[in-house]
Chains A and B, each alone.
Chain A
Amino acid sequence: MQALLASIRIAAATMLICVAGYATAVWAVAQAVAPDGANGSLITRADGTIIGSRQVAQAFTQPGYFWPRPSAVDYNATAAGGSNKSPTSTDLTDRGQELVERYGAAPQNPLPADLAAASGAGLDPHISEAGALYQAARVAEARGLDLARVEGLIRNAAVSPGGFLTGDRIVNVLELNLALDEMSRAQVG
Chain B
Amino acid sequence: MLIQSILFVVLVVGGTALISWPLGRYMKWAMDPGDPSSGPAGWKDRAFRAVGGPLTAQDQTWKRYMVAMLAFNVVMFVVVYGFLALQQYLPLNPDGKEGLEASLIFNTAASFTTNTNLQHYSGEVSLSYLSQLGGLMWLQFVSAATGIAALAALARGLAGRPLGNFFLDVQRASFLVLLPLAFVVAILLVVGGVPMTFDGAAVATTLEGVQQTIARGPVAAFVAIKQLGTNGGGFFGPNSTHPLENPGFWTNILEMVAIIIIPMACVWMFGRIIGRMRHAGVIFAVMLAFLLVKTTGAVWFEAAPTQAFANLPIEQTVGNLEGKELRFGPTGGPLWSVLTSSTSNGSVGAMHDSLNPMTGLMPMIGMWLNATFGGVGVGMVNMFLYIVVGVFIAGMMIGRTPEYLGWRVEAREVKFALFALLAHGLFILGGTALFSATPWGAETLNNVGPHGFSEILYEFTSASANNGSGFEGLGDNTGPWNLATGIVMLLARFIPIILPLAIVGSLSAKRRSAESSGTLSVEGGVFATMLAATIVVVGALTFFPAATLGPIAEHVIYMN
Contact = CB atoms under 8 A, between A and B. Distances in A.
B514 interface: no
A178 B183 CA distance: 36
A121 B238 contact: yes
Interface stretch (B14-22, B320-328, B487-495): B320-328
Contacts of A189: none
Nearest to A123: B243
Contacts of A18: 138, 141-142, 174-175, 178-179
A113 B326 contact: no
Contacts of A17: 174-175, 179
Interface in B149-192: 167, 170-171, 174-175, 178-179, 182-183, 186-187, 190-192
Chain A interface bracket (under 10, 10 to 19, 20 to 34, 35 or more): 35 or more
Interface string B348-369: 1111011111000000000000
Interface string A145-189: 000000000000000011011111010001001100100000000
B58 interface: no
B204 interface: yes
Residue of A49, A81, A106 with most chain B CB atoms under a 10 A cut-off: A81
Given A6-B56, A161-B249, A105 B75 contact: no
B202 A80 contact: no
Nearest to A120: B241
Interface string B232-246: 000011110111100
B26 to A, nearest CB: 18
A33 B191 contact: yes
Contacts of B203: 50
B4 A165 contact: yes
Interface residues of B, number: 123
Contacts of A161: 248-249, 326-329
Given A56-B244, A78-B125, A79-B125, A7 B71 contact: yes
Contacts of B329: 161-162, 165-166, 168
Given A113-B315, A117-B322, A75 B72 contact: no
B294 interface: no
A116 B309 contact: yes
A120 B238 contact: yes
B194 interface: yes
Contacts of B472: 81-82, 84
A153 B275 CA distance: 61
Nearest to B238: A121
Given A96-B306, A167-B4, 14 more contacts: A14-B175, A15-B138, A18-B138, A26-B187, A53-B214, A77-B212, A82-B238, A84-B354, A85-B473, A86-B447, A116-B314, A120-B238, A127-B326, A177-B207
Interface of B: 1, 4, 7-8, 11, 51-56, 67-68, 71-72, 74-76, 79, 122, 124-125, 133-134, 137-138, 141-142, 145, 167, 170-171, 174-175, 178-179, 182-183, 186-187, 190-199, 201-208, 210, 212-216, 218, 220-221, 224, 236-239, 241-244, 247-250, 305-309, 311-318, 320-330, 348-351, 353-357, 446-448, 451, 471-473, 554, 558-559
30 contacts: A10-B167, A14-B145, A18-B142, A26-B218, A26-B220, A27-B218, A27-B221, A29-B190, A31-B196, A38-B190, A39-B197, A40-B195, A40-B202, A40-B244, A51-B204, A51-B205, A65-B208, A77-B213, A84-B351, A86-B554, A87-B356, A87-B357, A88-B554, A89-B308, A96-B309, A112-B314, A113-B318, A116-B314, A120-B323, A125-B243
